[in-house]
Amino acid sequence: MGPFGYVLIGILAVAILIIIANIKIVPQSKAYVIERLGAYHTTWQTGPHLLIPILERVAKQVSLKEQVADFPPQPVITKDNVTMQIDTVVFFQITDPKLYVYGVERPIAAIENLTATTLRNIIGDMELDHTLTSRDTINSSIRSILDDATDPWGIKVNRVELKNIVPPAAIQDAMEKQMKAERQRREAILQAEGEKASQILVAEGQKASQILEAEAAKEAAILQAEALKEAKIREAEGEAEAILAVQRAQAESIRLINEANPQEAYLTLKKLEAFAQAANGQATKIIIPSEIQAVAGLASSIVETAKEEK
């Protein structure tokens, strides 16, 4: 191999090294903006690419991830002339690397200044109390304005948050006093409501107790009346059974007498006993049957005859 062959091999080796050195691999979520002879040529996405030496260069490596910009506090004046310090956080994402590289110089600084001016315009139309209670409204308004303004820069604003709102010290002191008074008022209301509820519960308990006592007395009276009624029923049943027993005995006695076929003298004697029992009663007028009158007259004659014989 002659000298020319070694030179050729050397040139070939150098060319291979130059090619290897200019092979570029774009990682995930990255984009390379390529310029050729000083002018924009193309945008490389994820994967391997070959850069032409001398003619082309990587003008900018752009991250396609969502990024966060935390801006320092900005002084703003509310509609009622209160100066506050508000710091914001902006979440944005690069959607067009070409516009991002060539659209504006120092895009983050541009977003910061645009955020500050937009915040001042929005807060300037709101009073202090409304500002402190309208974070969501302010965030949405700033995001909408920034998103429209950054479209020519290849930037999409996804979200804006008011990180902190710091009113003046005098306003903070007044707000703390107001909050303390409000807490004391709520505490007094809660205490009064608790006492009211307690009194209502006590009254309801007393009412329920009285109702239960009245129901118990009513049930006791009903039970007592039922017991008396039962006792009277049993007493009446006993008396009825006793009368029935006497009547049965008398009927049995009459049956036995009738079966024995008593003599006339026995019947007359029974009549006299009945007459004697009637005479011993409280009646003032007694009607004596004729049969008993005859027997009584006979008995009087026998008694008088016995007296004369003596």
The pLDDT averaged over each successive group of 10 residues in the chain (310 residues) is: 72 83 88 91 91 88 92 87 88 93 89 91 86 86 91 92 81 74 86 88 88 88 88 84 80 71 59 57 53 52 52
Can you give the pLDDT at residue 274? 57
Instruction: Using the CB atoms, write b or e for 213-223: b if 16+ within 10 Å.
Output: eeeeeeeeeee
CA neighbor of 106 nearest in space, from 60, 56, 142, 72: 60
- Residue 105 DSSP class: S
Rounding to the nearest 10 degrees, give the CA dihedral for residues 206, 207, 209, 213. 130
Burial of 60 (C-beta count, 10 Å sphere; 0-12/13-18/19+): middle
Confidence (pTM): 0.53
Measured distance CA(13)–CA(6) in Å, rounded:
10
What CATH topology corresponds to 66-167?
Answer: Tetrahydropterin Synthase; Chain A (3.30.479)
Q: What is the CA radius of gyration of the chain?
A: 64
